[in-house]
Chains A and B, each alone.
Chain A
Amino acid sequence: MTFGRGLRALSIASAALITVAFALVFFYAPNDADQGFIQKIFYVHVPMAIVALCGFVAGGVFAIKHLRSGDRADDLRSYVAIHISLVLAVGVLLTGSIWARASWGHWWVWDEPTLVSFLIVFLLYACYQPLRFSIEDPERQARYAAVFAIVAGAFVPLNFTAVRMAESLTHPRVLSTTGGAMPGEMRLTFIVALAGMACLFVTLWRYELASKSASIQLRSLKRRLAGDDGLAPLNRSAAPQHL
């Protein structure tokens, strides 16, 4: 099974889109009326957030496919999607904190529903790998991880709605941009940044899938060549080790 197909085209597209996006951010998009230069963080913070959320939900979708077909490749896809989204979620929390500090003076604001929701989602998905690690049997590990990914994936939109309802009634949005409508230049920059981030996610996803599947196939090749004795025993791992 080859996961690395089309990887070169994808990586070139990601690099191009992100470079263009950053150029647009600093040379084309106008300064925000309320927040000035600080608002530029928006173009890296929000695309990361949107892509991370879609990644978590995609992890849930692949988990459903795994449960229905028993195909371990789907479990690997789900694992990698959640893994990369978790890294992006850390980025969202860090950039959000920096934005809060620059814009409001504190390193954390409870008034920003997106940031708070992300904290909760992060706390939840941080348990994914420990959960996988604590189950030794690989087939059961994949199954339980799939159940978790499905429940957590369904939780993400619910959580966002609940937190937004709780905050919006008492505090105005702190880190939003110019009220509702974004001027055209800002919108274009944002869309390019979002496209670049999405492309990057898919590239990194395929990249990690190819790397993991190569290791797994190498191991089975080694077993066929050297016999079972020439093989070091598999350590316990959170990542799927069989395809």
Chain B
Amino acid sequence: MPALPLDDAGPYVAAAYLVFLALILIYVSIMATKLGRIEREIGELSELVERRSERSDERDQERV
């Protein structure tokens, strides 16, 4: 026989499933932060590429 009557068992089962859910959600939020950082770095890189192509355009114009 279980140690607790069925009414009291509900919160424990819910707690166990919530642990599972919490772990997944925490994991997803950490990954989301990393994705944000990757996006920011891609932004910086695109900026660098922009600057470079501008500089080479200027050089081409000077030559002309």
Inter-subunit contact A90/B16 (CB<8 Å): no
Q: Does B64 contact A (CB under 8 A)?
A: no
- The residue in chain A whose Cβ has the minimal distance to the Cβ of B41 is A218
Q: Which of B44-62 contact A (CB under 8 A)?
A: 44-45, 48-49, 52
Inter-subunit contact A98/B2 (CB<8 Å): no
Interface 1/0 per residue, A159-182 and B, CB below 8 Å: 000000000000000000000000
In the bound assembly, the distance between CA atoms of A10 and B37 in angstroms comes to 24
Inter-subunit contact A91/B20 (CB<8 Å): yes
Q: Does A122 contact B (CB under 8 A)?
A: no
Inter-subunit contact B38/A215 (CB<8 Å): yes
Q: Which of A7-55 contact B (CB under 8 A)?
A: 22, 34-38, 40-41, 44-45, 48
Task: State which of A101, A204, A207, A226 has its C-beta within 8 Å of the C-beta of B12.
Answer: A101
Interface 1/0 per residue, B28-52 and A, CB below 8 Å: 0001001101100110110011001
Task: State which of B16, B42, B49 has its C-beta within 8 Å of the C-beta of A44.
Answer: B16
Q: Does A222 contact B (CB under 8 A)?
A: yes
Inter-subunit contact B20/A48 (CB<8 Å): yes
Q: Which residues of A contact B17 (CB under 8 A)?
A: 22, 41, 44
Inter-subunit contact B12/A38 (CB<8 Å): yes
- The residue in chain A whose Cβ has the minimal distance to the Cβ of B44 is A222
**Shortest distance in angstroms between B39's beta carbon and chain A's nearest beta carbon?**
10
Q: What is the interface size of chain A, counting residues whose CB is below 8 A from a CB of the partner?
A: 38
Given contacts A215-B38, A218-B38, A218-B42, contact A34 B1 (CB under 8 A): yes
Q: Does A225 contact B (CB under 8 A)?
A: yes
Given contacts A34-B2, A90-B23, A95-B20, contact A41 B12 (CB under 8 A): yes
In the bound assembly, the distance between CA atoms of A104 and B3 in angstroms comes to 6
**Shortest distance in angstroms between A224's beta carbon and chain B's nearest beta carbon?**
10
**Shortest distance in angstroms between A60's beta carbon and chain B's nearest beta carbon?**
22
Inter-subunit contact B3/A103 (CB<8 Å): yes
Inter-subunit contact B4/A102 (CB<8 Å): yes
Binding site for B on A (CB under 8 A): 22, 34-38, 40-41, 44-45, 48, 84, 87-88, 90-91, 94-95, 98-99, 101-105, 200, 204, 207-208, 211, 214-215, 218, 221-222, 225-226, 230
Give me 19 other A-B pairs in contact (C-beta within 8 A), A98-B15, A222-B48 excluded.
A36-B6, A37-B2, A37-B9, A44-B20, A88-B23, A91-B19, A91-B23, A95-B20, A98-B19, A102-B12, A104-B3, A200-B24, A204-B27, A207-B31, A211-B34, A215-B34, A215-B38, A221-B45, A225-B48
